[in-house]
Amino acid sequence: MVQRTLSTPAEDGAARDGSTIRGPVRTCVGCRQRAEATALVRIVARRGDGPPVTVVDLAKTMPGRGAWLHPRRDCLSAAVRRKAFPSALRAPGLTVAPDDLAEAIGGITEVDGLNGRNR
């Protein structure tokens, strides 16, 4: 029988790679990378009389399921290409217009979402 050691959770909020995690961690639906919730944008599906519509939740407090996304154009296009929003938001029939969503996000960048400027 193979003896395995148990992995222990990181102590004092430190990740296994040595970086410090402060707050909740979410997964980007575009690139599937984990990041702090403060570095991601939350997208929710608002249901009304017609088909569901995607809305950017800037305060991150709207009710319902949310999909988390880096504010980068490559993550947005990957999420739209993979049709990640309908499954992540559990909203069948949801169609996402990437240009409208990029405009609603506002500070979306071409490559790096952390520098806060458009390229």
> Could you give the number of structural domains in the chain?
1
Domain holding 31, by residue range, is 25-105
The token pair that represents 1 in the structure block = 């029988």
Domain of residue 55, CATH code: 3.30.1230.10
Residue 10 covered by a domain: no
Residue 17, in any domain of the structure: no
Quick check: is 7 in a domain?
no
Cβ-Cβ contacts under 8 Å for 70 (sequence gap 6 or more): 28, 30, 31, 33, 35, 39, 40, 41, 113
Helix (H) or strand (E) holding 73: helix 73-81
The pLDDT tens digits along the chain (119 residues) read 666 665 545 444 555 556 676 899 999 999 999 999 999 999 999 988 888 889 999 899 999 999 999 999 999 999 999 999 999 999 988 888 888 888 888 876 665 444 443 33
CB 105 within 8 A of CB 80: no
Residues sharing a CB contact under 8 Å with residue 17, sequence separation 6 or more, in sequence order = none
